[in-house]
Structure 1
Amino acid sequence: YNWLLNNQNNSNSIFLLGYFNYFGIKTSKNIEKAFNLFLNASEKDHISAHYFVGNCYKYGNGTKKNEKLAFEYCEKSANKNFTNGQLDVGYFYKNGIAINKNIKKSLYWYEQAANSGNVIAMHYLGNCYKDGKNGVKKDYNKAFELFEQSAIEGYTSGMTSLGYCYDNGIGTEEDKQKAFELYQKSANLGSISSQFNLGNMYEHGDGITNDIDKAIYWYEKAAKQGDKVAQNKLEKLTKSQ
């Protein structure tokens, strides 16, 4: 940190100093100071700094919230192939934030982010292809591939969605065992949907041995995270025991 303080002669050092202040690494957290450092680095065309400035404007961190500027800075980073920037620009276009809603442009940026390895973009596109929404035609095979890619990269929601594909034979052969394994993996990582789905499999003996105690265990996990349907299931099962 001290070295960075004494070497503010290039955009990378300035950006890192901002990053340390933003997250309180080796110094007290100072969001306003971080924002000014990001802005300084961004003026020197630092790609990550463009994104962080955009993010600060998006949420009003260290500066006044300004969605128009948030879009402009995120777009700068997106045009330089920064995947989180591409993801945000896709989101801005999808929801018409600070810019006219444009599904075609939204799709373009989500695809750019997915092609750069962004798991959130992969998963989002997978859902678009699964449901045939947001500018794409329904394509189960493509949905399966995108979910699989994001799951391989360790994305919890990707594992859940891939499990759902195996569970229901979407874009692949139905395989309850694979569905169970994926649900279990993502449930242990905190996925509410997977916790609920595991409860359901155990309750009905769907592809696995029926086990009400385990069903209760998983419904309880999901209910504790606010899943109302899991809460109802839990109440019914505990009453009948």
Structure 2
Amino acid sequence: MWWPRPEPDPDDPPQDPDYSDGECDCLMAAAAPGQSPYFDGVKWADMDAENAMAICADLLLKDQDVDAEVVAAFGRALIKGGKLEMALEFSELAAMEGSGLAMNTLASLYNDGEIVPTEHETAFAWYMTAAETGLPMGMHNVAYGYENGKGIAPNIDKALYYYERAAFFGYEPSLLHLGVIYREDTHVARDMQRTVDYLKMAAPNGSADAAARLGYIYEIGENGYFKDIEQALDYHFQAARQNNVVALHNLGSLTYHGRDGVPQDTEAVLLFWGRAAKLGDVKSQRKFGRLLYETGDVEEALRFLRLAAEQGDDEAQKLIRQIEGG
């Protein structure tokens, strides 16, 4: 039987969870961020589903007496790998044994409606149950439901409460989203200091989006927040190292115009806009194409301008006509 291990009391001394080597391998490959205090978890985009499924399946074939959270991690890997029916089966087993992650997985299946009927109310109920186990991901999803009225009546106060609960555990998506909420002046009054505080907590956890937003805030002094070009560059580069196209585009613009003491450097601009253009950023494709034309590389210029035009960029289309007509 798969038995859950309760979350430790933060006031108690750390205890060895006594996972087997196989359980550790499965959790390291497929556990979600915030699922366990003993593992960092793997972000969805970073999970190698085939590898995770193989590791966890090998364990479960050898040993049925494993922790419910390990079974839940296997269910998560199965979803990433597109094995939805198996994911449902294993997640139901782990949820019955108290796994918050498995409950969250079941909720996502009811939201998607691919192998079970779409039932947003049922999904929200599972998210709430996951949140009550202490799973930050569950708290975040409950907050999203309250914010957007998905499966429950909208309630921004309750949404903020659950986002803040998840943020307390360092859950990156909640930290980032709280920063966005306090920046946008829609649900709550704009508060740029709270925005920056939340984004600064998300950025060190690897959120390139948070770093890019901080870079922009410091670059322009957004909404009255003070400008600081050194901090702007630090955050832009932090995000750019993770291939964030917004940061790459903004670094290119700063370097192209030589603004705020940043030296003008065509080679650097080509590097920044070129990287963003190859990652699919429309504005960077247009600006990179135009710069290539200015430096004499007409063939490559047209290639990137056409990529931008195909995505609906009218300015790129005008440039193409000017170049081909000239």
TM-score normalized with structure 1 length = 0.85
Partner Cα distance (2:264, 2:276) in 1: 19
Match of 1:142 in 2: 231
Root mean square deviation of aligned Cα: 2.4
Letter in 2 for 1:190: G
Structure 1 residues without counterparts, runs of 5 or longer: none
Match of 2:275 in 1: 185
Partner Cα distance (1:184, 1:46) in 2: 40
My pick for the range that moved more, 173-182 or 62-71, is 62-71
Residue 172 of structure 1, CA deviation: 4.6
| SS at 2:187 equivalent | coil
My pick for the range that moved more, 8-17 or 166-175, is 166-175
Larger Rg: 2
Residue 55 of structure 1, CA deviation: 1.8
1:107/1:135 contact within 8 Å kept: no
Residue 69 of structure 1, CA deviation: 3.0
Match of 1:195 in 2: 285
Letter in 1 for 2:312: G
Residue 149 of structure 1, CA deviation: 0.5
Residue 85 of structure 1, CA deviation: 0.5
Letter in 1 for 2:118: N
Whether 2:193 is the aligned partner of 1:107: answer no
Match of 1:30 in 2: 118
Aligned residues: 235
Match of 1:175 in 2: 265
Q: Residue 249 of structure 2: which of 160, 168, 184 is its match? A: 160
Match of 2:314 in 1: 228
Whether 2:205 is the aligned partner of 1:116: answer yes
Q: 1:34 to 1:235 in 2, by over 3 A?
A: same
Residue identity (%): 23
1:104/1:135 contact within 8 Å kept: no
| SS at 2:268 equivalent | helix
Residue 88 of structure 1, CA deviation: 1.2
Residue 96 of structure 1, CA deviation: 2.7
TM-score normalized with structure 2 length = 0.65
Q: Give CA-to-partner distance per residue, 1:21-59, whole Å, 9 cap, x none.
A: 44568x447351332211111123221111111223333
Residue 3 of structure 1, CA deviation: 2.3
